[in-house]
Structure formats: structure tokens, C-alpha cells
Chains A and B, each alone.
Chain A
Amino acid sequence: MIYVVDVLTYAAIMVIATRGYMLIKGLGGLLHLGHAVFFGLGAYAAAIASQTFLPAGAYPISLLCGAIAAAAGAGLIGWPALKDRARYFMIITFSMQLIFITIVINLGITGGPDGISGIPKVGFGPWVLTSRPVNLGVIELSASSMNLLVALLLMGASFLFCRRIIESPYGRLVRATREDDLAVEAYGRSATNVRLSIFAIGAALTGIAGAAFAHYFNYIGPSQFELELVILFLIMLILGGQYSIVGATIGVFVTMALLEGLRFGLEHYALISTDAVAHVRKGIFSLILVLVLIVKPSGLVRERFSNYRRPAPEPGADKPAQAISLVVSEPAERNASLKPAALSCKDLHKSFGGLVAVNGVDLSLMEGKITAIIGPNGAGKTTVFNMLSGFVAPTKGEVTFKGKNIVGLAPPEIARLGIARTFQDVRIWPRLTAIENVLASLRDQPGENAIRLFAQPRVSDSKEAENIEYAWHLMERFRLSEKANQLAGELSYAQRKMLALARLRAYDPSIMLLDEPTSGVDPKRLGEFFDQIRGFAESEHRTICMIEHNMTVVRELADWVLFIDEGRVVAQGTSAEVLGNRTLMSAYLGKREAESV
């Protein structure tokens, strides 16, 4: 019985650590291969703190020390590793695993290769767990059962913590970053900060598990945190399902059952030495991981997506009228952020090596008007957009917004000024639902800050409720309400294009840069796009700049047209002037198409 209780206690601790891994790998999408480090950091921090400065019975503070140490470790590794778009992250975290063991073996404070023994047992204030049974009034528990109870309580708390994160605006932002970091930056958030924060949070949770492990076993040593533990975490996470809290829980219990079953089978039925049993067990487990990846790569439990309910209409509200209105009036406070737009660029140049993509473009966007940029493929149109939105730094030239040169600002900083964009290849967040795409883009979200999420839960929750209502309002406006709870990646191309507009509108910029907003859209549906884009400019007084190849769209929408070729503005004028220039149009579209414009 004690054996079963001990295994369950260990499993409960591993569940907490695996949930930390789930936050990093599943929710955050970070290719992390050094999870045993955070478990080890938590364990060593708790052990050292308990043996040096913490009084007996300071178990919660010791757990906190574990969390802080692991989060600090994550920050130390994550900051340099994540700033270069995480391409090396997997190699770095794996190296971190190797460095950690080397450091632990060589440091005096960690007990070197012998580790640390005599770590205090669980204790709360004056009460410290001993080998004697504990009387809880209604039931008397043995020391082992008491350990299990504490571990289960921690496991329960970690469930609530993870659920709060996953279902929050912060969790949504983390998932959006996992899906497409560039789109996140285009909507005013720093992808690196988001990744770093979830890395630190997952590490902190794992650090708590490590601290609990140290107090439970009363001994820790370097061999407990080696590569085999990384493999064990990977099996537990991948088997259960890396995108789910329930999966991360089931994965641990199934793995532990297999592990113990295998130990029993090998010890009793296999004719091999005790030493060999441990090796065979590890070997088989590594192969089980490969098998799981072959048979069930998504794990036992799949990712669960929130189902957002449409808010009930208020009594007497004229709901149908609002539903069919394409350009509805906006709440006053949302329009308050709109100021006269004044984006211009002067003598803009961009070279990629020897290739001159943009060669001295001057551009001035008129407030509340639609400017179209046209020109052949490779003319430099998207490069101009990339420079205006900060994704590409100009080689030379100025971009001025409200009298201030914004060259050198990062994309999120430019977006926060009120300049936002869409992408030619749409770049919606495919594994977020349609309404989540809109919600994730909204600006004012206290709950997307992990600290405020827990420090000001009421503020976060009430704003989220308000935002959900507003997102439904936008879904109806953009005729996507029937698809609101469908994954964005499953929408048709035209619906994704429309969702990109809805997402942009949700961000509420004063200047909208639309990169081929209607490309690939069925001509029969173009009218819906015209209404929305025209509405942005005419009803909401936003400044629009769009790249477009479809001359019907340009003629229908543009107040001013720039023709760019070979990185220069070749001609500009009203759409009638530019599209009416036969020489220009023939060179661009070919003679036959030019005649039909």
C-alpha cells in the first residue's frame, strides 16, 4: 500500500512539472528540450534555501524559492535564445540541460556529485511532517498519505492555475504567438516577450514541482535530472496530449503505470540482472516514445477550444437591424482614439545585397482617403509596406507619422502608434477560432498581461466579457458570426481574407495598410469587401493604403493611385487618371487587359 501511495505521490509531482512543460511546449509552441533543468533548479533552490536560511515549516516559501529559481533560469536562457525568432531554441535548451548537470556536479553548494541529503520534510509553520500518523479530525493519515495529500493539493492548484492561463486573453495571445509571431507583432505585441513570459511561467510551475520533489524525497543529486528525465517528460507530455491540461495529467499516470508495470515484469519474469533492468526499462521507454509518435502523435487528449457564446440580446434591442448592417456605428470611446492620420515617407530606399527593391519612393497618405499602390510583381510594393510597418528597415529615407520619424521602431511599437496592416498571405492564426482571431487583436485587454490576470482578476474578467460582446458585434458586421467558433484555418479563403479585415478593424488603427485584401476572392463576393474597406475610410475616417492588382477594386475604391515599378513611383493621380493612362496600363497589364480596364 505504501508503495502505491509513494508512486501516486511521485506521479502527482510529475503532473505539476508536465503541466509546466505543456504550457511551454503545447500552449507556447516552444521547442524546448531541457525541461529537467527547471525541475532540477526548483529542487536545488528549495533544498539549499531550506538548509541555509529558511526556518523549519517554511514549505510554501521553499516552493516559492523553487519557482523563482526556475523562472530566473528560464529568463536567463530565454532572453538570448528567443530574441532571434527561436530558430536555435531546441539546440540551446538541450545544451542548457548538459550545462546544468556539469555545473551542479562541480559546485560546492549543490553538494557536487553526491547531491544534497537531509532536506526537511513538508512543514507548515509549527507543524512539520514526521513519521508519525497525522490526525486530521475525521481521519488519521500516515506520513506517506499526508505527503500524497499535499502533492494532490498542489496538483489541484496547478490545474486551476493552468486553466486560468489557458482560458484567459493571455493564453489566447500565447497561442496566437505560437501560430504566427509576425502577425502578433503586427498587432502591437512583442512576440519575444510573450514567449519569454510563458517560458518563465512554465518553468516556475516546474520549479514548484522540483521543490516538492526535493522535500518529498529528502535527497537530490545530479543523476535525478539527467537526459532520461527529459525523455520521461517528453513521453508523459506527448502520450497524454501536449495541448491539454487533462492530457498532461493522463499522460503522467499512464506513463507511471507503464513504468512500474515494466519494472515489475522485468524484475520478476526477465532473467536479467538488477542493473540491466534499469537499462532495459529506459531503453524500452525511449522506444515507447517513438511508438507513440508513430501511432498517436497528437496524444490521447486533443487541444480543446473555447466555445464563445453569443451574448443574449438586451430586451427591446433591434438585433436584426444591427446584424444586417455592414458598417455600424461604433461606441464613442472606441472612435476617440482616432486622430488625423499623417503618414508619409520620403526618399525611401531598400537594397537586399545588390538588389535594389525600393529606390527613392515618396508617399503621402491622405487622411480618411484610400490610396492604392499598383505595379507589377517585384516592383517593391510589399517592401514599401514592410518598411512602413517596421518589418524591414529602410536602407535610406524617412517615414514620418504625425511629424515624427518612425524609422527604427519595432513593428509592435509602430502598430501601437495606430498603423496596422494585413498580409498578402493572410496570416490569420489558424488554430485559433475565428472569434479568437478578432479577440486576440483587440487592444485594451488587461487579461493579456500574465501579472494583471492574477493580480486584478475582476478587472481582467469584466473587460474580457465586454470584449467578447464587442467581438461578436464585429463578427456580425463582417458576416462571420456563423463561423465564429470554427478554427480559422478551416475557413474558406475568402472568409479568411474577411477575417483578416475583421482582425485589423478589431485592432482599431487610424492607418490601415492592406496588402492585396481581395486577391483570390470570388468576384461575386467583392462587393462585401468594397463595403467594408469603403466603410473604414468614409464612415470611420481611417486612412487606407492598399496594394492591389485587381483594377476593378482600384477603380471602385481608390481616391489616389500610385504606380510603382522597379522600386520607383512612376506615376500617380486619381484612379481615372492612372488607370486611364493607356501607355502605363499596357506596359503593366498587357495590351488586351489594358483595353478592358
Chain B
Amino acid sequence: MHETILSILPYGINGLALGLNVAIVALALALIWRTVGMLDFGIGAVYLASAYTLWLAKSAGLPLVVGMAVAIAAGVFFSVLNYLVVYRFFIKRNAPLFVLVVVSLSLFVATENFVAAILSAERFYIIDSILLGWTLLGTRLNVAQIAKMAISLITLGAIAMFCLHSRAGLAILAVADNPRLAQGMGIELDRAYIRTFAIAGFIVSLAAIPDVAESGVDPYVAATPLFLALAAIIIGGLGAFKNPVRGAVMLGLAFHLAVWAFASRWQEVIAYSFVMAALIIRPQGLFGGVSTPTRP
């Protein structure tokens, strides 16, 4: 029994690290879904923008910390740019949800391919040396993994504080709850949307930076976190912002415990089967409360 627990533990810790990392991408998706009323695959493009900015900054000889700050700024900039240049056109014309989703998916695929065409599909590493690490309960954790978990927890807490205790955050929550009423109360939707995309860009960058610092960057690096975040939404539901976060943690654990129970090649199959199982048991998400996005 003791041995079993010890053998599971590393997978559990890795699963938790992955889950927390996916959680902030899922939170970004949920934030845009509930506030703006669209499923934004474009955050995959934002992830790439942030990741490649970090690599370019590093290649240009900038210190890593400065590179990270620039990468975060790039993430925020591209997220807001997506809204201002592309999405706003469709939102103002009351485009159906499907159109918005197709547009955001196209943006993501276009970004992936243009990056591959311009910078090649090769994987570039930000940190060449072996990352500093420690062994905890039989699991070796490197500095990037620890940073991932810490950043995710801090981000989740900070976003909750921002939404509940700042004027801008409350305005976003009001729009997410009832856009028409929020508008009637004097909240400017366009400004709330810009803020939402800025926050989404910010937190997606925080997910991208430690991830690519650990594993390197290539044009397809955003696909897995984005799609896992999507799966987390299915598992957790979108009734409340905390639901996709819970879903992400469960998914991260399933993703790594699948390796412990089966083989690594079945990792994705098991994780996505978990999604399907959740879907069959509770189509509205394990934690309930389907929310259909509404726009005024």
C-alpha cells in the first residue's frame, strides 16, 4: 500500500502541476466565454505570441526577466488586438456564436502556420542548460514546474481578488452576469470587453512563459494547453469561473495518472475519454451550471 502511494505520488504531483497550468488557460477561455459570449481559440495565437516573444527577447540577448515582462506585454497586446481588429467587427454585427468561433479558430490556425512559415517549424529552447531541481516525496521537480504551480495559484488568487474587489473587475463580472443590465447601469461594454481580453492575454502569457521556458517553443506548442483547457471546460462546466479551474485540475491528474495506470501512449486517449465520460454522466459539467453566453 505504502509502495503504491509512493509510486502514484510523482504522477499526482505532475498532474497537479499540469492541471494548475491548464487551469489558467481554462480561466481565460471561461472569462471570454462568459463576458464576451464567444469561445476564443484566438488565445492559442496569444499563447504563441507570448512564447515567441520570450524566445526572441532571449535570442536578442535580453535578460530572462526582461524577456518575460516583454512576453507578457506581447500577450496582452495581441489579445486586445485580436478583439479590436477582428472580433469587434463581428460582435457589433451580432454575428452568431458559430461565426465567432470559426473566426477565432482561423486566427489560431493562421498564426500557427505563418509562424511555421516565417520562423520554421523547428523547436527552439529558451534555457539550454538543465533546469535546477529538487526531489520532493520521490518526485523531481524543476524550477519551471515549481514556478508553474506557484504562478498558477497566485494568478488564480489575484484574478479572484481583482474581480471581486476592483471596480474594473466588478464591471467584468456584471457584464458576464447580465450584459443588458450592466449596460443599463452605465457600464460600457466595449471597455469591459477590452479589459477582459487584456486580462485573458495576461493570464495566458503567464501560462505560456514557464511552459516554454521548460520545454521550448515551436508553432504547435499552444495546441495542447488550449485543447486541454477546452476539455477542462467540458469537465467542469461554465456555470461559475471556478468550475473550469476544478475541471482542469481533475484533467491534469487524469492525464498523468493514466501514465501510471496504463502506458504513456494512452495518456491523451484516457484523458479525453474522461472528458467523454463526464459528458455522458453530466452534460452540463461535473460541477454543474451550464451558462449560455449572451450578448446584448
Residues of A participating in the B interface, judged by any CB pair closer than 8 Å: 25, 31, 33, 80-81, 83-84, 87-88, 90-92, 94-95, 98-99, 102-103, 106, 227-228, 231, 234, 238, 272, 275-276, 279-280, 282-284, 286-287, 289-290, 293-294, 297
Contact with A along B214-225 (1 / 0, CB 8 A): 000000000000
Given known pairs A88-B283, A279-B113, A290-B107, the reply for A106 and B269 (CB within 8 Å) is yes
Cα separation A102 to B275 with both chains bound (whole Å): 14
* Chain A nearest Cβ from B57, distance in angstroms: 24
Interface pair B89/A231, CB less than 8 Å apart: no
Neighbouring A residues of B272 by C-beta, 8 Å: 95, 98-99, 102
Size class of the contact patch on chain B? 35 or more
Neighbouring A residues of B109 by C-beta, 8 Å: 227-228, 231, 282-283, 286
Q: Please list 14 pairs of residues, one from A and one from B, whose beta carbons are closer than 8 Å in the complex, sorted by A's number.
A: A25-B98, A80-B283, A88-B279, A91-B233, A94-B230, A95-B227, A95-B231, A99-B276, A106-B269, A231-B105, A280-B113, A283-B109, A289-B106, A293-B103
Residues of B participating in the A interface, judged by any CB pair closer than 8 Å: 39, 86, 89-90, 95, 97-99, 101-103, 105-107, 109-114, 116-118, 120-121, 227, 230-231, 233-234, 265-266, 268-269, 272-273, 275-276, 279-280, 283-284, 290, 292
Cα separation A88 to B244 with both chains bound (whole Å): 14
User: Which single residue of chain B is at the shortest CB-CB distance from A77?
Assistant: B276
Given known pairs A275-B121, A276-B117, A294-B89, the reply for A84 and B234 (CB within 8 Å) is no
* Chain B nearest Cβ from A554, distance in angstroms: 33
User: Which single residue of chain A is at the shortest CB-CB distance from B93?
Assistant: A297
Which of A33, A84, A90 is in CB contact (< 8 Å) with B290? A84
A-B contact count (CB 8 A): 113
Given known pairs A81-B283, A106-B266, the reply for A87 and B102 (CB within 8 Å) is no
Tell me which of B97, B107, B117, B280 has the highest count of chain A C-beta atoms within 10 A of its own C-beta.
B117
Interface pair A102/B269, CB less than 8 Å apart: yes
Cα separation A231 to B108 with both chains bound (whole Å): 11
- The majority secondary structure among interface residues of chain B is helix
Other than the given A279-B116, A297-B99, 9 more pairs (CB < 8 A) read A31-B97, A88-B279, A90-B98, A95-B275, A279-B114, A283-B114, A289-B106, A290-B103, A293-B95
Interface pair A106/B265, CB less than 8 Å apart: yes
* Chain B nearest Cβ from A488, distance in angstroms: 20
Interface pair A282/B113, CB less than 8 Å apart: yes
Neighbouring A residues of B265 by C-beta, 8 Å: 106
Closest CB pairs A-B (n = 5):
A283-B113, A84-B283, A286-B110, A279-B117, A286-B106
Cα separation A361 to B273 with both chains bound (whole Å): 47
Neighbouring B residues of A286 by C-beta, 8 Å: 106-107, 109-110, 113
* Chain B nearest Cβ from A133, distance in angstroms: 40
* Chain A nearest Cβ from B162, distance in angstroms: 26
User: Which single residue of chain A is at the shortest CB-CB distance from B114?
Assistant: A283
Cα separation A540 to B98 with both chains bound (whole Å): 45
User: Which single residue of chain B is at the shortest CB-CB distance from A270?
Assistant: B117
Cα separation A373 to B89 with both chains bound (whole Å): 47
Neighbouring B residues of A234 by C-beta, 8 Å: 102
